[in-house]
Amino acid sequence: MALANAEAEPALTADAPTSCPTPPLALVEALNIRESKVSARETVLNDRLAALSLAEAAITARIEEMTAAEAELKKTLQIADGAAEADLARLTAVYEAMKPVDAAKLFGEMAPEFAAGFLGRMTPGAAAAAMAGMDPAKVYAISVLIAGRNAMAPKN
C-alpha cells in the first residue's frame, strides 16, 4: 500500500524550485540595521588601521633619526674624550718636566682630589720627587685618594 501511494505522489526533481516564505518585515529591518552598524564599525576600524599605519611609519622614522643622532653624539663624545685625554696627558708631561720643588709648590696649592689625578698619572719617579717637597698631611690625603680610587672596582 505504501508503494501504491508513493507512486501517486509527484516526485520532486532537482529542477523544481523550492519556495521560501517571505521573511517578516521586522526581521528584514533588523538585519538591515545590523548590516549598517557592521559597515560603520568596519569603516571606523579601517580608519584606525590607516591611522596606526601612519603613526607606525612616523615612529619608525623618528627612531631612525634618533639612532643616527645617537651615533653622531657618540662620535662627538669620543672626539671630545680623546681631546680631553690628550690635554691631560700633555699637562701631566708638563708637570713631570717641572723641577720637583716647583711641582711640589704647585701641587701643594691644588685641592687634593685634583692633585691626586695628576700625580697618579705621572711616572713614579717624578711623582715621588714632587711629593717629597710637599706638606706631609697633603701628601697623605693625596695618597689616600690615589690608593682608594679603584677600591670599588669589580674584582672579577
The tens digit of pLDDT for each residue in 4-21 reads 565 655 555 556 557 777
Rounded-to-integer distance, Cα 120 and Cα 148, Å: 11
- Between 155 and 73, the higher pLDDT residue: 73
For residues 116 and 149, the answer to whether their CB atoms sit within 8 Å is yes
State which H helix or E strand residue 11 sits in: none
Other CB atoms within a 10 A radius of the CB of residue 122 amount to 19
Confidence of residue 110 (pLDDT cuts 50, 70, 90): very high
Collapsed DSSP state (helix, strand, coil) of residue 66: helix
